[in-house]
Chains A and B, each alone.
Chain A
Amino acid sequence: MTIQLQQVLPEYFEKSRSERSEVWGKDLQFNKGEYIKIVAPSGSGKSSLMHFLYGLRKEYNGHIIIGGKNTKQCGAEEFATLRKDVLSIVFQDLRLFPEQTVRQNIELKRQLNPFHPPEKIDEMAERLGIKNKLESRSRICSYGEQQRVAIIRALMQPFDFLLLDEPFSHLDDNNSQKAMDLMLEEAKARHAAIIFADLERIDWFPYNRLFHL
């Protein structure tokens, strides 16, 4: 399973952006098992890239090929399958159901295509220090807690690529490191790739490839 980027450039970016970027307007291939770090200052299109890869938006020129299939030609059903089996994501804006409990939020993702049994939710919550929040509504959790919920949720399914969009923006270094360790373990268990986009380099992500957006 690979992801290929062919001359991808957001429609709302001027052409010259591709001259400075190592991603926009280039031909790239991400393979299973790779740890890819994308460093991007604010406004350079980090979330756009993640949304393009995840199929939430299609306002770009060029092509994104996932597993040999051009995603511009994928319908809603095909993307649903990709998001269930191949791609997992931690959104920058977290995207939890505010009225559901933490456990319900995670379970909603887990039941779709279970990679782990339900007990794994407790185990991961314990590791990331939010076990006592499992039965709380997610809207009353702090941003840091919500971010950890979003991370655990992303690890409940099988995937070949884990997309991380500033996953530690609300976490201190200690909690970030714990979360990173968990994600690395889970990626390893699936022999999956991690595509990690953040504002700056983070020392505890052992990337193989680094790109500046």
Chain B
Amino acid sequence: MAVSFSPIRPLIQTGSNASSRWFSYIGLGIGVLLLLCSIQMYVNIQQLLGEKEMQKGGFEFIPISKVITNETMGNLEKNLFDQEDISELKSQPFVEDAAPLLANNFKFQLSGGSLIPFMTDFFIESLDNAFIDTVPPSFTWSEGQLTVPVIISSEFLELYNIFAPGYGLPQISEETAYRIQLTFTCYGNDGSRESFRAHVVAFSDRVNSILAPKTFLDWANQRFSPGMELRPSRVYVKVKDANDPEFLKYLEAKNYRVNKDKTQFGRRKMVLQGIFAGLGIFGLMVVVLALMLFSFYLQLMIARSRDSLQLLLALGYSPRWLGNNVSKRFIPIYFGVVLGALAVTQLMQYAFHHFVMYDRSELDTPVHWTVIATAVLLIVISLLTNFRLVRKLLSQLEP
């Protein structure tokens, strides 16, 4: 049916309430702009702060402990982890694995060799090998072996080298440290006592402790403190992203303490993402409001043109054809408004990348594809609601 709409156009009154129409266009434009900018900023944050763990690749290992408060002080039940806690941790989707850091459950003394003559009460811990960054093949122990290999936190060596001069002790290099003969002395609850030679086989940047092979500590705990239940105060978790907001929320909910430095990005990211999610929701609300305003305008337009439209229907014009043609007039406007907002978003992204972020390589100057997809979706939604509304209003006109 090659029916022309042009003789019908003057029958539909639009002009007299142009201001309300323009208000709704401007409102729609602002809402769409807010929404698109929020999505782009959300993506920017993701790219800027998500970059850190991507550079490292693989997983992050983070020690967590329970927060000790005045109420839980001295209450080991509450401050130590049990098997259930660890299983629950392991079952979380953002946790790849978890392993307890087990400590000695008996009195333990450490003494240096002739090079560094000192003796001190100390602690020793063990951790699943898979969680240690540097595990040489020699890091094994079996019963009867008199020498115990240990892995020491590289920070300990640094600390030692800081205070050694003050005490008249020699500063030592890593190479020398490997050669130092240490002595472990273990005291049993029954008064027994046994000494082992020990030497450093590796330094760890990850684990802040003195680590002995698990086999040694399990044996020693059994030997010197039989029957005592062993519960860790620290648990190492292996995660893909230490800044994952879900992970941080979980830690907070469980009252677990974690090194803030490792997760500060995540915390900042959470706040920023929260702000932009809020802005995005606000933008969406403005879009909805603008569409509502526009629907009022459409209703008014159709009410004003009621007589003409009714007569056209009575003459035999199809309500679908009329509805489509009335709606079609607004297609360029919707396209214009949304594409305009998209262009401004692109401009803002360019300015943000170029002038605020000084062309950092993590960010892209073109807007993210999700922004374009949202713009397309908004056009489709506005057109669909528009078409449906006009058709519904026209069907109500039918006598």
Contact = CB atoms under 8 A, between A and B. Distances in A.
A170 to B, nearest CB: 19
Contacts of B253: none
Contacts of B11: 97, 100
Instruction: Report whether over half of chain B's contact residues are helix, strand or loop; otherwise say mixed.
Output: helix
Nearest to A157: B316
Contacts of B4: 111
Interface residues of B, number: 22
B7 A84 contact: no
A81 B315 contact: no
B3 A109 contact: no
Contacts of B399: 56-57
B319 A80 contact: yes
B395 interface: yes
Interface string A78-109: 00111110000000000101011000100111
Residue with the highest number of chain B CB atoms closer than 10 Å, among A54, A77, A80, A107 = A80
Contacts of B45: none
Residue with the highest number of chain B CB atoms closer than 10 Å, among A83, A99, A108 = A108
B313 A112 contact: no
Instruction: Report whether over half of chain A's contact residues are helix, strand or loop; otherwise say mixed.
Output: helix
Contact of A77 (B7, B10, B314, B318): B318
Interface in A61-77: 76-77
B317 interface: yes
A108 B315 contact: yes
A95 B314 contact: yes
Contacts of B321: 80
B106 to A, nearest CB: 89
A150 to B, nearest CB: 11
Given A77-B320, A111-B3, A112-B3, A56 B314 contact: yes
Nearest to B322: A80
Contacts of A54: 314
A95 B318 CA distance: 18
Contacts of A80: 313, 316-319, 321
B398 interface: yes
Contacts of A77: 318-320
A109 B315 contact: yes
26 contacts: A54-B314, A56-B314, A57-B399, A76-B313, A76-B319, A76-B395, A80-B317, A80-B321, A81-B316, A81-B318, A84-B316, A84-B318, A95-B314, A100-B7, A100-B11, A104-B7, A108-B7, A108-B315, A111-B3, A111-B4, A111-B7, A112-B3, A112-B316, A113-B1, A113-B316, A157-B316
